């Protein structure tokens, strides 16, 4: 049995901040996380314990991103194992230890190639797939290629599920498109979350989508019918649905900070999830990509930057913001028994942050993947 003690830290569970804490890791799982004075009662039976001095850093759960396309100059749609590894490394350096690889609207062959590359890479940070299309509205396609938009049937879904070594977790679709209701029901039968996005749905069409089984909104406000006082649209329907979860891209470009706080005021706290929608330039300090006609093409965010932005905009403590990038997405995916928390029995995915919430060190399954100071 291998054991490591991460000492001299504060920690966020993520809901509670504990000062003067320790984390004991055994065989890649957390055996104890809490105040130092209680750690002696949770000592391991391992013959030796390696101690790591956290030097007063703040330990937080590894971040969970459910909507991520690329980074470090690569994209999952490149269809190569090296591209997958590049994206994963880029975001791991920024503290994201669980990724739902998001594939753009594309022809079936391109989607199969992307899934094949994910399989070949065997990258442990990839915990699932998110299909962003192809069953979307052309009028709200954003950067999705128009020539690949098409109905998505159960047969194509099943083929991708059989091919992929990680679960298909989310499919973004436009609920107003023909064939949406049977698609939603087919996804639910297969344990896949149907999400509304890239949609021009009216408020009434959105409600019918909810009745069919949609319970999630992809990058709220972006690439969907917005709120008008005579037509609340899909965005208004998602805000009013207390059971529906929603994604926010908190980069200050996709959403004004006031729009972020409007959502946080309107929605139950556990139904708001920060995502990056990151593309190739993520991890650099360049501006987000745009299509030739000026539409936004994903972001250059990392998830820790989104957390920092909301802390900076609001002045709130880290424990008020961190669940949006840890506990909430883990619960949505049904992996909160392993991810999103620093608690006994969870995977030892741990990120050490400095006082400015910069990433110092990253541990995945208790193993150091990035060493800082």
Q: Which residues are catalytic?
A: 277
Long-range contacts of 138-142, Cβ-Cβ distance < 8 Å, separation of 24 or more: 139/200, 140/174, 140/198, 140/199, 140/200, 140/223, 140/224, 140/225, 141/105, 141/198, 141/223, 142/198, 142/222, 142/223, 142/291, 142/295, 142/296, 142/297
> What distances in angstroms separate CA 249 from CA 39, 219, 303, one per listed residue?
38, 6, 9
Nearest to 84 by CA among 131, 120, 134, 127: 120
d(CA 91, CA 97): 8
Asked if residue 247 lies in contact with residue 67, where contact means CB atoms within 8 angstroms, the answer is yes
d(CA 219, CA 246): 7
Which alpha helices (DSSP H) does 175-326 contain, by range? Answer: 180-189, 203-212, 233-240, 257-266, 303-314, 318-321
d(CA 310, CA 197): 23
Nearest to 134 by CA among 122, 126, 144, 124: 144
Q: What are phi and psi of 194, to 5 degrees?
A: -80, 130
């Amino acid at each position: 049995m291998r054991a490591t003690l991460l000492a001299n830290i504060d920690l966020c569970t993520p809901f509670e901040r504990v000062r003067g804490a320790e984390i004991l890791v055994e065989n890649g799982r957390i055996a104890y996380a809490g105040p130092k004075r209680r750690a002696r009662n949770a000592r391991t039976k391992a013959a030796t314990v390696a101690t790591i001095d956290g030097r007063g850093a703040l330990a937080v759960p590894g971040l969970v991103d459910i909507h991520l396309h690329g980074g470090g100059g690569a994209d999952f749609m490149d269809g190569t194992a090296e591209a997958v590894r590049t994206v994963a490394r880029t975001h791991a350096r920024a503290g994201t230890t669980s990724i739902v690889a998001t594939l753009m609207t594309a022809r079936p062959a391109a989607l199969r190639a992307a899934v094949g590359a994910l399989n070949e890479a065997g990258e442990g940070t990839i915990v699932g797939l998110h299909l962003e299309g192809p069953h979307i509205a052309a009028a709200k396609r954003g950067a999705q290629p128009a020539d690949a938009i098409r109905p998505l049937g159960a047969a194509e879904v099943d083929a991708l599920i059989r091919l992929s070594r990680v679960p298909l977790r989310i499919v973004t679709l436009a609920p107003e498109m023909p064939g949406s209701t049977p698609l939603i029901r087919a996804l639910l039968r297969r344990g896949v979350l149907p999400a509304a996005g890239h949609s021009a749905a009216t408020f009434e069409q959105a409600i019918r989508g909810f009745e069919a089984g949609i319970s999630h909104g992809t990058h709220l406000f972006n690439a969907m019918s917005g709120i008008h006082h005579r037509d609340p649209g899909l965005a208004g329907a998602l805000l009013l649905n207390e059971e529906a979860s929603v994604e926010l891209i908190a980069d200050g470009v996709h959403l004004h900070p006031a729009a972020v706080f409007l959502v946080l005021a309107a929605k139950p706290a556990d139904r708001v999830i920060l995502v990056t929608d990151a593309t190739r330039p993520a991890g650099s300090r360049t501006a987000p990509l745009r299509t030739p006609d000026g539409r936004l093409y994903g972001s250059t965010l990392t998830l820790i930057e989104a957390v920092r932005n909301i802390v900076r905009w609001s002045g709130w403590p880290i424990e008020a913001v961190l669940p949006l990038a840890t506990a909430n997405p883990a619960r949505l995916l049904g992996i909160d028994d392993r991810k999103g928390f620093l608690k006994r029995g969870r995977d030892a995915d741990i990120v050490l942050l400095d006082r400015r919430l910069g990433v110092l060190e990253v541990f995945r399954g208790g193993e150091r993947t990035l060493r800082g100071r």
